[in-house]
Structure 1
Amino acid sequence: MKRTTVRLTTAAALTALTACTSSHSSGKPEQDRPAASAPAALPALRTAERSTERAETARVSSTTVLGTQLSLTADGVLSWRDGLSGALTIDYTGGSAAETMRGLGVTSMEARYLSDAYYARVGDTFAAKTGGKHWLRYAYDDLKTLGGGADLADQMRSTTPDQSVRLLLDSDDVRELGRQTVDGQATTHYAGTVDVEDVTDTELQQRLQDAGVTAETLDIWINEKNLLVKKVEMTSTANGRMTQTAHYSDYGVKVAVQKPPAADTEDFKTLLSQSGTNPT
């Protein structure tokens, strides 16, 4: 398999990792939004952060658009009890990378997040090009060697619902925008702009910087149980403008993810080595 095919497929698959936090914001310019006192919003957000963290699991439905490169939807369950784990079904809906994936017979993909790595299941057409194996394994420590979409993907380990609320707490202009009904629930809408240099989580800050992110706007909706119902994120990355929207529900849902069969799994570094490329 040629280097370009391997890397395009890898980038497309890995960009999907960001989908769980995912699309577009209220569309109202920041300067047009009503001003509010940041200190007044902070206690409620801290309560939401703790409540969402304690919930430990949730069902996620999301959309992601990354410039002209890729658009996708993702549905599944996530757990942040002991690191990130979960399973998502990802559908590629548009963009140049999606066209590449379709050419390889991949329009939908199952993604599994486990403690050691991210696993992506590809179809028979692509599997035929990789020795017949249907699962690709990406060790988290190897993601940065891919660059581009992989840098964005690596952020996924730090973008669970509680982390989203925590990130907004780092905003200098966080504010409450009022009550709104979202997904049939009464919620309070909060928004702010986060400068990456102000992010207090040093690991997340480094991942954002590696992806070429300097700032991002966040909108979140918190329900009466102090749980995140919806999150919208917009930012500019090294791969273009990224817009993500995620809806969270069924907090506390059971999440049990199994590692794919070893005999049907190929490691991406091995795949690149077999294609005569250097992953670094």
Structure 2
Amino acid sequence: MLKTGRTYLAATAVVLALAATGCGTKNGTGTGDPTAVPTGATSAAPTAQAVEVAPAALLKLVGEKTSAAKSAKVEGVTELPTGKTAMRGSISWDNGLQGELTGNAGGPMADALAKAGGDGTFTARYLSDAMYINMGDGMASQLGGAHWIRYGYADLAKLMGPAGDSLKQQLQNADPVNSVRALIASGQVTKAGTEDVNGTKATRYTGDLSAAEITQAAATGLTQEQIDGLQKQFKAAGISTEHIEVWVSSDNLLVKKVEQIQTTAGTVTSTAQYSDYGTSAAVKAPGRTDTVDFAELMKGAQGAAGGSAPTS
């Protein structure tokens, strides 16, 4: 495969990893204790008179119930300045992010995939240590007939630096309500009315995280050196604020969330909708004979270029 193809495959891996975290994960504890009952809420048994529960207290219950469900069907859309990626399938967060999502890419990303042999559609399979991406027969023809490319999370971390370390932690510690916990910890949760989400009446809650809170949320599980590097990358990218919205059903399950981050390159928006909690999301790694390892592809590119990494 041309070295440009390998570069596109690297970019695709990053986008699909980010899209997966938008569907299922966001390591975030913010500041403060997300398990504490906020001021103004009550933990006592309700009386005959209805008691209005504070948003943060209710979201704590939502987090507990959604986490306990361990799996769900999901539909997600990630909008980047370079294009949009849509995904749907089933995921589990019982032991890190696991499951299979199918989808398609649009805009410049689809054009890039076309140059690498793909048609813009893909299947992504997530396991505890790696994700596998199948971009169809056109791509397989350039990979010796193998349909699946394996991207080890450790290799993604090397590819992306400190941001990759954070992404690896998120993929291996999946939970769709970590964004809910980040909202609670921020202390800035607002109830914003009720709406219909795919036929389910849901209550919407909103909040905003500062640049420091975004870094704190993304730094879970990292060393101080990695956190310092992450702060530098975020600052260079101009990441300033994050807006979070979550929709909660009457039985205290997360049914939709939107996360929007501002950067110097433009706005990044991730939207995910959840249904059929408890559904099966079991997956296995593709067969070895139908799989190539991205790290080996990159080694081949470096060898062909005399030891230097591809640049185009």
**Would you call these one fold, judging by a TM-score over 0.5?**
yes
Partner of 2:50: none
Matches within 5 A, 1:67-146: 67=81, 69-92=82-105, 94-103=106-115, 104-146=117-159
Shift of 1:43: 0.4
Higher mean C-alpha displacement, 43-52 vs 204-213: 204-213
Matches within 5 A, 1:1-280: 1-20=1-20, 21=22, 40-67=54-81, 69-92=82-105, 94-103=106-115, 104-147=117-160, 151=164, 154=168, 155-158=170-173, 160-198=175-213, 199=216, 202-203=219-220, 206=227, 209=231, 210=233, 212=237, 213-237=239-263, 240-276=266-302, 277-278=308-309
Residues 204 and 172 of structure 1: CA distance in aligned 2, closer, same or farther (over 3 Å): farther
* Contact 1:130–1:271 (Cα < 8 Å) also in 2: no
Residues 84 and 218 of structure 1: CA distance in aligned 2, closer, same or farther (over 3 Å): same
1:99 aligns to what SS in structure 2?
A: helix
Shift of 1:153: 5.6
Residues 133 and 255 of structure 1: CA distance in aligned 2, closer, same or farther (over 3 Å): same
* Contact 2:93–2:174 (Cα < 8 Å) also in 1: no
Shift of 1:197: 2.4
Higher mean C-alpha displacement, 204-213 vs 228-237: 204-213
1:142 aligns to what SS in structure 2?
A: helix
Specify the code of the residue in structure 2 equivalent to 1:273.
K
Cα displacement string for residues 71-120 of structure 1 (whole angstroms, at most 9, x for unaligned residues): 1110000000111101000211x221211112313321110110121110
Aligned-CA RMSD value: 2.7
Cα displacement string for residues 51-79 of structure 1 (whole angstroms, at most 9, x for unaligned residues): 11000000001111100x12111000000
* Contact 1:170–1:194 (Cα < 8 Å) also in 2: no
Partner of 1:27: none
Residues 268 and 239 of structure 1: CA distance in aligned 2, closer, same or farther (over 3 Å): farther
**Which structure 2 residue ranges, 5 or more long, are not aligned?**
24-38, 42-53, 303-307
Residues 137 and 129 of structure 1: CA distance in aligned 2, closer, same or farther (over 3 Å): same
Q: How far apart, CA to CA, are the structure 2 residues paired with 1:165 and 1:48?
A: 8
2:220 aligns to what SS in structure 1?
A: helix
Q: How far apart, CA to CA, are the structure 2 residues paired with 1:215 and 1:172?
A: 15
Q: How far apart, CA to CA, are the structure 2 residues paired with 1:106 and 1:238?
A: 30
- TM-score normalised per structure 1: 0.83
Residues 200 and 270 of structure 1: CA distance in aligned 2, closer, same or farther (over 3 Å): closer
Shift of 1:239: 5.7
Aligned sequence identity (%): 35
- TM-score normalised per structure 2: 0.75
Over alpha carbons, which structure has the higher Rg? Answer: 2
Q: Going by fraction, where is strand more abundant, 1 or 2?
A: 1
